[in-house]
Chains A and B, each alone.
Chain A
Amino acid sequence: MSTHPSPTALPRTVGKGRRRSRPRVAAAGSRRAPLAAYAFILPGFLVYSLIMLYPAVQTLLLSFRDWTIAPGVNSPWVGLDNYIRAFHDPVFIDSMVNATAYTAFTVPLQIVIGLALAVLLDAKLPGRVGFRVLFYLPVVTSWVVVSLLFQFIFSSQDGLANHVVVDLLGVAPENISWFQGRWTAMLAISILGVWKGIGWAMLIFLAALTAVPQELKEAAALDGAGAAKRFRYVSLPAIRSALAVVFILLFIGGFNVFISVLLMTGGGPGNATQVPLTYMYQQAFKFLDFGYGSAISFSLTALVLMLSALQYWWTRRRMAR
């Protein structure tokens, strides 16, 4: 194989079937190899397109109709009516507000606590495996079970939450009916979200921290840097990528919150705690208005996509600096 590309060397590679391969030694690590690249991409991408993108397009098209599921019945085209309706729908607007609040509460907490735990568990600590399992347990416990337990914890009668807030901390004068007010219910749901997600974030950070070169940490220690400084200047930059990934995934997951709200409050009382996806579910599966349900989902998707793209672009710019 030629190692020094020159204009005369290229034609010689034609016969070997690597005609499009042009090694660029000066490139920043990415190799131009389109044929091979497609071989890597296409198998997965084909499955993905068939299972995700194709149904997504169909759902999008559905949102432009007054769709009925009755077989053989015509569904009239209504254009953007469903979307216009969504943006004038106070329940939809409120649901977006709720989702935003949920995301704003849960994402930073999961990142900070998850990272803190990962750092604590990165070092050689006896019983480390045991702790790692314990923190992961909330992640693997089913939502049904966990929502039930949290409803119980936030019970207005003698729930644990009221014990803590009224008796232990003395912050509230009397028992709170958590699930009857919009923001107290959202708080309970958000706490559930954080609790369940910490182990997940911790897992990713643990994986990322193991990639931090040991020699760098040792060198920094020899230079006299304390644990905090070592973390800030050695570990943190090394896990930048993982941080960006976790942030985006949690951000998207926050706006797409569904099952916990459905199980904890069902969107109630009276639509106060609806989030876009529970509202979509109600419209589509309970009221059989699939066109409107799809419009709601796509409005949410569009918004989240815009925000994620913004962030992704912004973090990549920071990383490139």
Chain B
Amino acid sequence: MNNIRARRVSYALRYVLLALAAFVMVYPFLFMLSTSFKSRSLSLGDPTNLIPTEPTLDNYTQVLGTEHFGRYFLNSAAVALVSTALIVLLASMMAYAFARLDFPGKRIFFTLIIVGLTIPTMMLIIPQFLLARDLHLLNSLPGLVPFYVGTALAFNTFLLAGFFEQIPHELDEAMAIDGAGPWRRYWSLALPLSKPAIGTCIIFAFLGTWDEFAWALTVLNDVDNRTLPIAIALFQGQHSTSWGLVFAASIIAIVPVLIVYIIFQRNFVAGLTTGAVKS
């Protein structure tokens, strides 16, 4: 009897803590949501007032009706999907090699990856622009993919290497003794066991490529080729901005990212990976 009550209290306590934390974290977002329903939003109103007096969908209809908006949305989606797939594939392969394989020069390669983590991409923008020009990848939507993949590899490889190292060595050994080569072990052992890690990688890779702004703006000129973050930035004027419009557009842009998140966080369930040890 005591146990059940203790558990109920523990649950209730958890809930209260979580709810408080969630409210603090989400408050700015709630304010953003509320402003997106306001018609006069050239200046932001009272921060404690979350309920707009005359809520309106005007901002949303205006955003969705903006010329090319649907096009930008699809452009971003295409680039993000392809880039994410490539990032996850290449980063997981590299991470597996670092975590599980031995080869001459391993230290050097890994150090070079760490170096990539510390280099701020803003600094590279002009040499990268010249590179894109020389590779004839300027002003092209597919041309964004190699750059997005290249800049995301260091981070995701490092992240996945950390996870792959947690896989019990005995499993690897077992498979090797059974005659499985590295590719087989990677594909049939490491990847399935690392669903949470791969899920994390997908979430981050998608978010990074979906939201990327600076490079896309630098490289893309044709209005048809542009991506969503550029479209949202264009709602900001030189002298004034209707923030309700910007917020409405931002919220629309957040939806796909949240969908990806919700899908892949299902992998974060304890006990998913432990069965494999027994089998």
Task: Give the B-binding residues of A (Cβ under 8 A).
Answer: 1, 3, 23, 25, 27-34, 36-41, 43-45, 47-56, 58-59, 62, 69, 113, 117, 120-123, 125, 129, 131-142, 144-146, 148-150, 152-153, 158-160, 163, 195, 198-199, 203-204, 206-215, 227, 238, 241-242, 244-245, 248-249, 252, 256, 258, 277, 280-281, 284, 290, 293-294, 297, 300-301, 304-305, 308-309, 312
Contact = CB atoms under 8 A, between A and B. Distances in A.
A308 B120 contact: no
Given A140-B254, A144-B233, A207-B199, A281 B122 contact: yes
A210 to B, nearest CB: 5
Nearest to B275: A214
B58 interface: no
A320 to B, nearest CB: 12
Given A138-B29, A207-B199, A304-B118, A51 B169 contact: no
B77 to A, nearest CB: 15
Interface stretch (B63-71, B106-114, B219-227): B106-114
Contacts of A152: 31, 44, 47
B261 A140 contact: yes
B146 interface: yes
Contacts of A59: 123-124, 126-127
A40 B96 contact: yes
Interface centre among B46, B106, B146, B150 (most CB of A within 10 A): B150
A206 B76 CA distance: 28
Given A125-B14, A258-B120, A258-B122, A305 B114 contact: yes
Helix, strand, loop or mixed for chain B's interface? helix
B124 A56 contact: yes
Contacts of A125: 11, 14-15, 18
Contact of A31 (B47, B182, B204, B265): B182
A301 B165 CA distance: 27
28 contacts: A28-B169, A30-B102, A31-B172, A32-B103, A33-B182, A36-B183, A43-B90, A47-B146, A47-B149, A51-B147, A51-B150, A51-B151, A52-B150, A53-B116, A59-B124, A121-B18, A122-B270, A140-B257, A152-B44, A158-B47, A206-B265, A207-B197, A214-B270, A245-B162, A277-B120, A294-B123, A304-B118, A308-B117
Contacts of A144: 232-233, 236, 246
Contacts of B114: 305, 308-309, 312
> How big is chain B's contact interface, by range?
35 or more
Interface of B: 10-11, 14-15, 17-18, 21-22, 25-26, 28-29, 31-32, 44, 46-48, 90-91, 93-94, 96-98, 100-104, 106, 109, 112-120, 122-124, 126-128, 131, 146-147, 149-151, 153-155, 157-159, 162-163, 165-166, 169, 172-173, 176-177, 179, 181-183, 186, 196-197, 199-200, 203-204, 207, 211, 229, 232-233, 236, 243, 246-247, 250, 253-254, 257-258, 261-262, 265, 267-274, 277
